[in-house]
Amino acid sequence: MTDPTPTRAPLAIVTGGAAGIGRQLAERLAAEGHRVVCPDVAQHDLPALGDGPVPTAAGLVWTSLDVTDPEAVRATFDDLAARFGGIDVLVNNAGIQRHRGLEDLTFAEWSAVVDVNLHGVFSCLQAAGRHMLAAGRGAVVNISSVSSRGSAGRAPYATTKAAVVALTATAGAEWAARGVRVNAVAPGYIDTGVFRQGVAAGTLSEETILARIPAGRLADASEVANAVAFLASDQASYVVGQTLYVDGGFMVDYGVPLAKKPE
């Protein structure tokens, strides 16, 4: 049943939003007044969206979804649009990684990343977009990465994140005149538990990474959430098809330091 209230709280869908960075993006949109549904393969500690009345206040709920199943994506988004009275914001955040050199990368590993990071993004973009286009309004924020320019040992991840940039630009060009804005946020290195685990395991060198970031520090997840909230809001009403890099300058610096002038 659709929401009969004309002034209903807007619905934001954040895929992969039950934990990690996605959870923080979802919480930021909830703080902005959205009702937020977090489709994810795992529930973590979020309450499940049941069969009862939909939430009327800002808050987060979980529903089970594997974004690699296009039929399940369409059915889930159709159900959410009917129950909440429409879809106002989609944050295409669900993603996975597989770390391995190209010569040893298996096709199964490659396909797993492509299925989630590209096919899943496409399916969710299309499913939400159809409802937004019918309503003549909506905003999509796809999550890319600084890895989109290439990243050793992360071929499928880098390739899919580059494809997300192109898909964002294409969807932005197609849908802007019909009231739907599509943009992307590409985070750099973020100070998270996963990052700290990599440093502790020796697979990441914080010193080397910081030397490549002009801002000289890692991002806080809240800074990525700020960018997502901006692109999802009416404040970004004339921003279409763009990728906003939240990376401390990583993408604009080759990493070669300025030579010192002779004394």
- pTM reported for the whole predicted model: 0.91
Angle at 153 between CA 152 and CA 159, to 5 degrees: 75
Whether domain 11-192+220-249 has CATH 3.40.50.720: the reply is yes
The span from the CA of 146 to the CA of 195, in Å, is 15
* 7-40 confidence digits (pLDDT tens): 678 999 999 999 999 999 999 999 999 999 999 9
129, with CB counted inside 10 A (0-12, 13-18, 19+), is: buried
Is 157 an active-site residue?
yes
Q: Which two tokens stand for residue 25?
A: 């993006």
Catalytic residue among 157, 189, 245, 254: 157
Beta bridge partners of 202: none
* 140-177 confidence digits (pLDDT tens): 999 999 988 888 778 999 999 999 999 999 999 999 99
For the chain, how long is the longest CA-to-CA vector?
75
* 220-234 confidence digits (pLDDT tens): 999 999 999 999 999
